Amino acid sequence: MSRDATAPQLAPLRVAIVDDEPLARSYLRELLAAHDDVEIVAECANGIEAVKACADIKPDLLLLDIQMPKLDGFDVLELIGHAVPVIFVTAYDAFAVRAFEVHAVDFLLKPFGPERLAEALTRSRSRLGSADLQPVHRVLAEVRTGRAPLSRILIRDRADVHVIPVEKIDYIESQDDYVAVRVDGRSLLKEQTLSELAELLDPNRFVRIHRRYALNLTRLVRIEQSDTGSRTATLRDGTELPISRSGYARLRERL
């Protein structure tokens, strides 16, 4: 049947494929070739390439593998936020399926066939631009519940990705919906609240000393009290941070 020339034509769905396995990328490329309304704008072999593609090319949709070295699919999701809708691709159905259902447009369980991919693409078109996805960090917090505390923090600066071991952090400062992570004499901004991030850190290392600050205990040199009763934490580099009453109580439990 010929296509109705008067029917409105949808813009091609600009898709980026992200998978560290060449055969998996080739399989997706082959399946997507059957869809005239899909344009592959990037193929990424790792998470860092995916973050860069999202910043530079701005695809409409990511087909994103979960199990990848260095940055896995959840790391990529954390770094891109809501910048690009995601269809997760995974061989591990027990690997945080709840998060797929809550946040992602869809998820494809390997091995999958052309019909299942077509269904996911249809669903993605209906949800492009939708505001019904949960905040990324809330979903990631759910995924990480019960897992070991964070050993690193990921921060995106445009197309650059900073991977910061938590032991290198001096302190973290709340800046509304962002946090400023102080490390090596500079501050790096991350789109996440201090409350959300503090829940994921080791409580034996980081203590919320104030509503605005979480301190790495290894950086603490001394606690001073003023004549008015207010307390201040002095760090190795001479930085002084205020300590609230509740923060001081938490400090005493750890010291």
CA distance linking residue 145 with residue 200, whole number of Å = 8
Going by pLDDT thresholds of 50, 70 and 90, the confidence category of residue 52 is very high
- Which domain-ending residue is among 113, 141, 169? 141
Whether 135 and 35 share a structural domain: yes
User: What Rg do the C-alpha atoms of the chain give, in angstroms?
Assistant: 22
Whether residue 111 is preceded by a cis peptide bond, meaning omega within 30 degrees of 0, is yes
Share of the chain above pLDDT 70, in %: 83
CATH number, domain of 210, equals: 2.40.50.1020
Structural domain count, the chain: 2
What pLDDT was estimated at residue 1? 43
Residues 165-190 have a mean pLDDT of 95
Q: Does 4 map to a domain?
A: no
CA distance linking residue 9 with residue 23, whole number of Å = 32
Going by pLDDT thresholds of 50, 70 and 90, the confidence category of residue 94 is low
Q: Is the four-CA dihedral 76, 101, 94, 59 of positive or negative sign?
A: negative
Q: Is the four-CA dihedral 147, 151, 155, 160 of positive or negative sign?
A: negative
- Residue 144 pLDDT more than 70? no
Helix (H, G, I), strand (E, B) or coil at 61: strand
- Residue 97 pLDDT more than 80? no
- Residue 192 pLDDT more than 80? yes
* Domain membership of residue 77 as a residue range: 13-141
- Which domain-ending residue is among 92, 111, 141? 141
What pLDDT was estimated at residue 133? 54
What pLDDT was estimated at residue 231? 96
Whether 175 and 129 share a structural domain: no
Q: Does 8 map to a domain?
A: no
CA distance linking residue 74 with residue 80, whole number of Å = 10
236: amino acid identity, one letter: R
- Which domain-ending residue is among 121, 141, 161? 141
pTM of the predicted structure, to 2 decimals: 0.75
